Amino acid sequence: MNEFVGTQLSGWDAATFRTASADPTMRSTVVAVAVLESTPDWDRLRDRFERLTCCVPTLRMRPLYGLAGFSAPRLAVDPDFDLDVHLRRYRIPKDGGWQALLDDARRMSLTDFDPNRPLWEAALVEGLPDGAAALILKLHHAIADGQATVMMGLSLFEFGPEPDPNEQPAPEPPPAEDVGVRQVSLANISDTLTRGKGLAESAARELLGFAKGSVTDPLATWGRALETVTSIGRVASVPDAALSPVLVGRGTTYHFSVMDTPFADLRATSKAHGFSVNDVFLAAVAEGMDRYHRRHGVMVDELRLNVPISLRGDAGDRSGQASNAVSIARFPLGIAGLTPVEHMEQAHGLVERWRDEPAIRMADPLADISWVVPVPMLAQAAQASDVTTSNVPGPPLPLYLAGEKVIAIYPLVATIGAALNVTMVTYDGRAFLGISADDRAVQDLPDLMADLADGFEVVVGVRPVVRP
pLDDT digits (tens, 9 = 90+) for 111-122: 999 989 999 999
* pLDDT of res. 364: 65
Mean pLDDT of the chain: 89
Domain contains 227: no
CA-to-CA distance for 267 and 180, rounded, in angstroms?
Answer: 53
Residues of the domain holding 293: 254-388+436-467
DSSP conformational letter for 138: E
- The pLDDT of residue 292 is 98
Task: Pick the range with the lowest mean pLDDT from 13-17, 47-51, 350-354.
Answer: 13-17
Query: What is the rounded average pLDDT of the residues 88-97?
Result: 92
In whole angstroms, what is the distance from residue 447 CA to residue 374 CA?
37
- Determine contact, residues 367/12, Cβ cutoff 8 Å: yes
Provide the b/e sequence for 355-385 (b: ≥16 CB within 10 Å).
eebebbbbbbbbbbebeeeebeebbbbbbbb
Task: Report residue 235's pLDDT band, with 50, 70 and 90 as the boundaries.
Answer: low
> What was the pLDDT predicted at 317?
44
Mean pLDDT of 355-382: 73
User: Which range is most confident: 206-220, 314-328, 395-409?
Assistant: 395-409
State the alpha helices, DSSP H only, in 60-145: 83-86, 97-110
- CA 315 remoteness from chain centre: 21
221 in any annotated domain: no
Residue of 6 and 343 predicted with greater confidence? 343
The C-alpha atoms of residue 428 and residue 406 are separated, in whole angstroms, by 9
Map residue 315 onto helix, strand or coil.
coil
What's the CA gap between 386 and 379, in Å, rounded? Answer: 13
Residue 125 lies in a domain: no
Q: What is the pLDDT of residue 413?
A: 95
Q: What pLDDT does 316 receive?
A: 45
List, in sequence order, the alpha helices (H) in 111-262: 146-156, 181-216, 218-236
Distant-in-sequence contacts of 61-64, Cβ < 8 A, 24+ apart: 61/6, 61/118, 62/116, 62/117, 62/118, 62/119, 63/9, 63/17, 63/115, 63/116, 63/119, 64/5, 64/6, 64/179, 64/184
Residues linked to residue 89 through DSSP beta bridges, in sequence order: 124
In this predicted model, which residue has the larger pLDDT, 63 or 236? 63
Name the pLDDT band for 304 (thresholds 50, 70, 90): very high
When pLDDT is cut at 50, 70 and 90, the band that residue 363 belongs to is low
Q: Quote the pLDDT of residue 78.
A: 96
Asked if the structure places residue 361 within a domain, the reply is yes
362 part of a folded domain: yes
* pLDDT number for residue 211: 82
pLDDT: which is higher, 260 or 94: 260
Q: What is the pLDDT of residue 328?
A: 82
What is the arithmetic mean of pLDDT over 314-330?
58
Has residue 321 got a pLDDT over 50?
no
pLDDT band at 315 (very low <50, low <70, confident <90, very high): very low
Note whether residue 42 is domain-resident. Answer: no
Residue 302 above 70 pLDDT? Answer: yes
In a domain, 279, yes or no: yes
Q: Find the mean pLDDT for residues 289-296.
A: 98
Residue 312's pLDDT is: 56
Q: Say how many domains are in the chain.
A: 1
Q: Is the pLDDT of residue 404 over 80?
A: yes
At residue 293, the pLDDT reads 98
Q: pLDDT tier at 203 (50, 70, 90 boundaries)?
A: confident
Per-residue pLDDT reduced to its tens digit, 11-44: 878 888 888 888 898 999 999 999 999 999 999 9
Instruction: Look at residue 288 and tell me if it is in a domain.
Output: yes
Residue 327 sits in a domain whose CATH number is 3.30.559
Per-residue model confidence (pLDDT) at position 354: 86
